[in-house]
Amino acid sequence: MKYIIIVVCIALALLMMSFQTVTSVKFGGESQHTGSIKAYNALSVFNPELVEIVRELCRLSFLQEPSRVAAGIFSGDTVALPETVSLQRVNPLRSWLVSNRELQSIEHVEPEMILVLGGSFTMGCSTAKGGACENDESPRHRVHLSDFYMSKYEVTQAQWKAVMESNPSYFSDCDSCPVERVSWNDAQAFILKLNQKTAKNYRLPTEAEWEYAARGGKKSKGYKYAGSDTIDSVAWFADNSGGKTHPVGQKQANELGIYDMSGNVWEWCSDWYGNYSAEVQTNPGGPNSGSNRALRGGGWNGLASRCRVADRSNDGPDNRNRNSGGFRLVLAEKQ
Ligand SMILES: [Ca+2]
Ligand SMILES: [Ca+2]
């Protein structure tokens, strides 16, 4: 069966290349392994969309039994695997492949989650790093948090498309960029569908969870931005973004291994936006009511001061006009 699949992969690659009028790839005298790898590489140069189909077929074939061929095909592959749910819609051939294998695509839409060990921290702005604090970042107060899991990256356009079968992003056509132009309510709709697909309880982070994670949790080094005092090393913001979002995970991660908490897109939190209280709090979820929802971390079009771990912003829950507004996910426990 394995070898049939290999042959099919190569045949498929050659068939696709015949549409691309690629003539420079030679298979003579080479093993099937080498041939398929070369075909793959050639395709990736000439037609990234078609190579996805080959890659997916091979990946599915060796899901249970990783082999040299699969390793070769995927060597140098730095792109996240495409989400089969969305591609079922996009490509009839892939749809056939998926339905034949009765693939459950859930694993490919789920975000990579990082364990954030609970602990205590002081929430709110300190002038220790020389930053100007804004009024809504005070009073500083002590917060105790339980363990939780936070997504390593902002939710990407590929993940959004896989779940929602749409892409609201202004900077669309970039699967690995964060989804943006989503309202707080849109994010809730995504989470509802994701939870239905996965039978898990994903949710937005609370502001306290967001700030604790941005500060590096138990591993915090007290940086001004998430992962550094030098903003350029950790964040896409107005001065370095070139006026657009960027694929997630390209800047340096923070102390917990979480990316882009400062910059790229603003991130919705679950809380109503309101004033802080000076009381010690345990797992706070913000005010009971309000008119706006909290946003954190700054974005590609914002000032450096917006990317501070203590900075807060807010917007109406239906507002999706921000092409710098996205989100990331939290799980209370690994499920
Ligand atoms: Ca961000
Ligand atoms: Ca602010």
pLDDT digits 0-9 by tens, 215-252: 999 999 999 999 999 999 999 999 999 999 999 999 99
**Residue 63 reports pLDDT greater than 70:** no
Model confidence at 101, pLDDT cuts 50, 70, 90, reads very low
* 293: enclosing H helix or E strand: strand 293-296
Q: Which ligand is nearest to the CA of 138?
A: 2
Q: Label residue 117 left, alpha or beta by phi (over 0 means left) and psi (-120 to 50 means alpha).
A: beta
Are the C-beta atoms of residues 312 and 135 closer than 8 Å to each other?
no
Question: How far is the centre of ligand 2, averaged over its atoms, from the C-alpha of 302 (Å)?
Answer: 11
Question: How far is the centre of ligand 1, averaged over its atoms, from the C-alpha of 147 (Å)?
Answer: 21
Give the pLDDT confidence of 175-207 residue by residue, as tens digits: 999 999 999 999 999 999 999 988 899 999 999
User: For 134-174, where are the E strands, in sequence order?
Assistant: 141-145, 148-151
Model confidence at 214, pLDDT cuts 50, 70, 90, reads very high
* 214: enclosing H helix or E strand: helix 207-214
pLDDT number for residue 86: 28
Q: Which ligand is nearest to the CA of 125?
A: 2
pLDDT number for residue 13: 61
Minimum mean pLDDT range among 14-28, 109-123, 252-266, 278-292: 14-28
More confident residue, 52 or 195: 195
* Mean pLDDT value across residues 165-174: 93
Where exactly does CATH 3.90.1580.10 map onto the chain? 113-331
Question: How far is the centre of ligand 2, averaged over its atoms, from the C-alpha of 53 (Å)?
Answer: 45
Helical pair 48-61 and 32-46, crossing angle rounded to 10 deg: 150
Minimum mean pLDDT range among 23-32, 74-83, 190-199, 274-283: 23-32
Q: Going edge to edge, which strands form the sheet with 293-296?
A: 313-315, 293-296, 266-272, 325-326
Top mean pLDDT of 102-106, 144-148, 161-165 is at 144-148
Cα–Cα distance measured from residue 148 to residue 202, given in angstroms and rounded to the nearest whole number: 11
Copy the structure tokens of residue 31. 């093993």
User: What residues pair up with 113 in beta bridges, in sequence order?
Assistant: 151
Question: How far is the centre of ligand 1, averaged over its atoms, from the C-alpha of 296 (Å)?
Answer: 7
pLDDT number for residue 80: 29
Which residues, including other chains, have CB under 8 Å from residue 18's CB and lie 6 or more apart?
none
Tally of CB atoms within 10 A around 156: 25
Helical pair 2-20 and 32-46, crossing angle rounded to 10 deg: 40
Q: Which ligand is nearest to the CA of 264?
A: 1
Q: Which ligand is nearest to the CA of 308?
A: 2
Note the Cα 332 to chain centre separation in Å.
Answer: 18
Question: How far is the centre of ligand 1, averaged over its atoms, from the C-alpha of 193 (Å)?
Answer: 22
More confident residue, 192 or 94: 192
Question: How far is the centre of ligand 2, averaged over its atoms, from the C-alpha of 149 (Å)?
Answer: 25
Neighbours of ion ligand 1 (CB under 5 A): 260, 264, 297
- Of all residues in the chain, the percent with pLDDT exceeding 70 is 68
Question: How far is the centre of ligand 1, averaged over its atoms, from the C-alpha of 9 (Å)?
Answer: 39
Distances from the Cα of 250 to the Cα of 145, 214, 231, 315, angstroms = 29, 17, 13, 27
* Among 215, 132, 183, 226, CA closest to 314: 183
Top mean pLDDT of 58-62, 72-76, 100-104, 164-168 is at 164-168
Tell me the HSE value of 113 on the side-chain side, using a 13 A CA sphere: 23
For tokens 């797992």, what's the residue? 283
pLDDT number for residue 110: 81
Are the C-beta atoms of residues 272 and 189 closer than 8 Å to each other?
no
Tally of CB atoms within 10 A around 5: 16
Q: Which ligand is nearest to the CA of 133?
A: 2
**Residue 113 reports pLDDT greater than 80:** yes
Are the C-beta atoms of residues 80 and 32 closer than 8 Å to each other?
no
Single-letter amino acid code for the residue at 273: Y
CA angle 254/258/261 to nearest 5° reads 80
Q: Which ligand is nearest to the CA of 251?
A: 1
* 114: enclosing H helix or E strand: strand 113-116
Question: How far is the centre of ligand 1, averaged over its atoms, from the C-alpha of 264 (Å)?
Answer: 5
Q: Which ligand is nearest to the CA of 328?
A: 1
Tell which CATH architecture fits domain 113-331: Alpha-Beta Complex (3.90)
Mean pLDDT across the chain:
78
**Residue 106 reports pLDDT greater than 70:** no
pLDDT number for residue 166: 94
More confident residue, 35 or 29: 35
Tally of CB atoms within 10 A around 118: 16
**Residue 89 reports pLDDT greater than 50:** no
Question: How far is the centre of ligand 2, averaged over its atoms, from the C-alpha of 91 (Å)?
Answer: 44
Distances from the Cα of 252 to the Cα of 13, 231, 266, angstroms = 36, 10, 17
Model confidence at 108, pLDDT cuts 50, 70, 90, reads low
* Mean pLDDT value across residues 134-145: 97
